[in-house]
Amino acid sequence: MMVEPIRETASPIVAAQDARPPVIEISALGKTFTLDSGPVVALESVDLTIRKGEFISFVGPSGCGKSTLLNMVAGLLSPSQGEATLNGARIDEPSRQVGFMFQTAVLLPWRTVEENVLMPAEIFGTKTQALREKARSVLEAVGLGEFLKAYPQQLSGGMQQRVSPRTLTSEPDVLLMDEPFGALDEFTREAMNMELMRITQAAGITVLFVTHNITEAVFMADRVVVMTPHPGKVSGVVDVDLPRPRDIGQMQEQRFTDLMFKVRGILGHG
Amino acid sequence: MAKSAALQMGQQVGASFQNGKKQEDLRYRLYSLAIIIVILAVWEIAPRLGLVSPIILPSFTAVVGALISLMQQDFFLRHFSVTLTEIVVGFVLGTSIGLVLGIALAVWPAAKRIAYPFVVGFQAIPKIVFAPLFIAWFGFGMSSKVVMAVVVSFFPVLINTMVGLESVPAEARKLMRSIKATPLQTFRKVSLPHALPVIFAGVKAALTFVVIGAIVGEFVGASEGLGYLVELYKNQLRIDRVFAVIVILAAIGAGGYFLLEWLDRKLIFWRSDVEGK
Ligand SMILES: Nc1ncnc2c1ncn2[C@@H]1O[C@H](COP(=O)(O)OP(=O)(O)OP(=O)(O)O)[C@@H](O)[C@H]1O
Ligand SMILES: [Mg+2]
């Protein structure tokens, strides 16, 4: 049974998943920024346990602290209260087991697409032939197989965004995604989401996925964490008990619509 | 199901666009050429018609004649190489100092807070006024001119290096932090290449200043060099030779500039105006 103290109760069908070991444990995590105009509570006391291989979506309107939460889990931002742990160890710096996909692709114009993808490997000192193959397969998965040797400025904006899943090349245990496909058109985004879900499910990667889009959040997730602003906080968690592998057809099912309404409801009440 | 067609789309650049651009380039080159011809023609005809005294403005062909005869003199090479040496040494030292100081101020916040007011204050001084002082300190030889060249040229490199390094996008820094890159790795792989176009603009500006610095130094006190020759011929009222030396100095400046421009293209191949290839 779910034991973490969250307000919205878990649906009973997911009990079987609880055998998986917790990877990320967030307890009483909060962040207050101090500005000249006074303190801003970006995130208030979040408690959440994320198990191995789980896909968690975070939805909520702009400014509800989604990026703040993700940055703290990434070890890029230090918490004001509480803590987050990764495999039991307190997170206070970035970890190589954690991959981060940012809102923009961050491509260096003097490196080819391939060289950009291999940058982390260069830093880690793990740039091997096997890794090159891995990079190639990731780029092929997002339809950029023919653009390995191209420079980023030779790609369209959308194609540049599609390089984001490069972080998978380093085979992280945990993947943090901060709306990496936000600027893509709906078709491409859907295709990217499907591809990402396939890869992460197959590899057993734990995913924290931030989005504004409720449909997408529900469709991808095992659980949807619903957040509301002023101050940023978690208002509820909705279990998504739709079977996997998912396909677009499931969006037409009554259960899917119910889940979306549930998320909407929590967002509405704040 | 796995991969949709949406992911397979590439894109092409129109070839006609490239063609149109080439024609446009040619047209602008013709305009430039026309302007040069007009200037040379006026330069040639005005003194000949007596519109200006040849003492004030020798005709174009007179200057060309003076240039050829000057270059055949034994002493010419000595003066030429003195000035060229001052320029090259001053340029290398000035840009190196600017680069090192710029990097230091950019990567070391304490250094910036302490030193920056002095740097800006120093820049506010018209440094040409130091020329007589440097002659007194470092003598009539090349060293005083090199010092002058360095003093007037390091600043654009310093400021551009600092600004370039500091303008690395926050997202790129965040990426490097998230993969636990060391500060040195971030500097080498991200900050420095990112700053390179801006640094190069500073280096180009420095070249112009170096030439000015060396010549002013020679004006103020020297017994050799092209600046010294200008002074000498002016006093002898051999204005055609003054112009000849000016042409040589212009050629040195232009040569250096084109060399830098070429290096810039090689080094910074990713500039957005680089098309095709
Ligand atoms: N570095 C910062 N300094 C000050 N305030 C900040 C900082 N980062 C975030 N905030 C504030 O914290 C709150 C939450 O910001 P956050 O970026 O986490 O929101 P978000 O949910 O990711 O929004 P969006 O969907 O627009 O990306 C906002 O009110 C924001 O103004
Ligand atoms: Mg955000």
ipTM of predicted complex: 0.85
Could you report the average pLDDT of every consecutive run of 10 residues in chain A (270 residues)? Answer: 45 56 96 93 95 96 94 96 96 94 91 94 88 91 92 92 90 94 89 92 95 94 95 94 91 94 88
The last residue of one of the domains, among B36, B52, B68, is B52
Distance CA B122, CA A86 (A): 52
Residues B40 and B93 in one domain: no
Residues B164 and B227 in one domain: yes
Q: Is B189 on the interface with A (CB under 8 A)?
A: yes
The tokens for B37 are: 């011809």
Distance CA B5, CA B154 (A): 55
Measure B193 CA to nearest chain A CA, in Å: 8
Domain with B8 in it: 1-52
Q: What Å distances lie between residue A23 and A86, A174, A198, A206, B84, CA to CA?
A: 6, 8, 20, 8, 67
The tokens for A6 are: 């969250």
Residues B11 and B94 in one domain: no
The count of CB pairs under 8 A between chains A and B is 85
The tokens for A241 are: 């008990």
Residues B156 and B179 in one domain: yes
Distance CA A45, CA A102 (A): 24
Enumerate residue ranges in chain B where pLDDT < 50.
1-6, 8-14, 274-277
Residues A13 and A90 in one domain: yes
**Angle separating helix axes B74-107 and B60-72, nearest 10 degrees:** 100
Domain with A50 in it: 5-104+172-267
| Ligand 1 atom at minimal distance to the Cα of residue A64 | 21
CB B267, CB B196: distance < 8 Å: yes
Residue A55 lies in a domain: yes
What's the A147 CA to ligand 2 centre distance in angstroms?
29
Beta carbon of A167 within 6 Å of any ligand 1 atom: no
CB A220, CB A197: distance < 8 Å: yes
Residues A208 and A259 in one domain: yes
Residues A99 and A117 in one domain: no
Distance CA A132, CA B90 (A): 46
Q: Which amino acid is at A39?
A: P
Residues A78 and A176 in one domain: yes
Residues B163 and B210 in one domain: yes
Residues B66 and B29 in one domain: no
Residues in CB range of B2: below 8 A, 6 or more apart? A194, A195, A198
Residues B74 and B36 in one domain: no
Listed residues: CB within 5 A of ion ligand 2:
A 67
Burial of A80 (0-12, 13-18, 19+ CB in 10 A): middle
Residues B88 and B33 in one domain: no
- CA-nearest residue to B197 within chain A is A110
Q: Which of B200, B191, B203 is nearest to B265 (CA)?
A: B200
Residue B198 lies in a domain: yes
What's the A92 CA to ligand 1 centre distance in angstroms?
20
Residues A87 and A116 in one domain: no
| Interface touch A76/B177, C-beta < 8 Å | yes
Q: Which of A41, A62, A102, A208 to mutate to test the pocket of ligand 1 (most atoms within 8 A of CB)?
A: A62
Residue B227 lies in a domain: yes
Residue A167 lies in a domain: no
- Please tell me what DSSP assigns to residue A224: E
Domains in chain B, number: 2
| Interface touch B7/A147, C-beta < 8 Å | no
- CA-nearest residue to B6 within chain A is A188
Residues B263 and B204 in one domain: yes
Residue B64 lies in a domain: yes
**Minimum-distance CB partner of A120 among B8, B179, B270:** B179
Which CATH number goes with the domain that contains B152?
1.10.3720.10
- Determine the pLDDT at residue B3: 43
Burial of B201 (0-12, 13-18, 19+ CB in 10 A): middle
Residues B3 and B84 in one domain: no
Domains in chain A, number: 2
Q: Which amino acid is at B93?
A: L
- CA-nearest residue to B183 within chain A is A123
Residues A206 and A117 in one domain: no
Residues in CB range of A107: below 8 A, 6 or more apart? A113, A116, A152, A160, A163
CB A223, CB A238: distance < 8 Å: yes
| Interface touch B179/A141, C-beta < 8 Å | no
Measure B4 CA to nearest chain A CA, in Å: 6
Residues B139 and B222 in one domain: yes
Of the CA atoms within 13 Å of residue B119, those in its CB half-sphere come to 19
Residues in CB range of B171: below 8 A, 6 or more apart? A102, A103, A104, A106
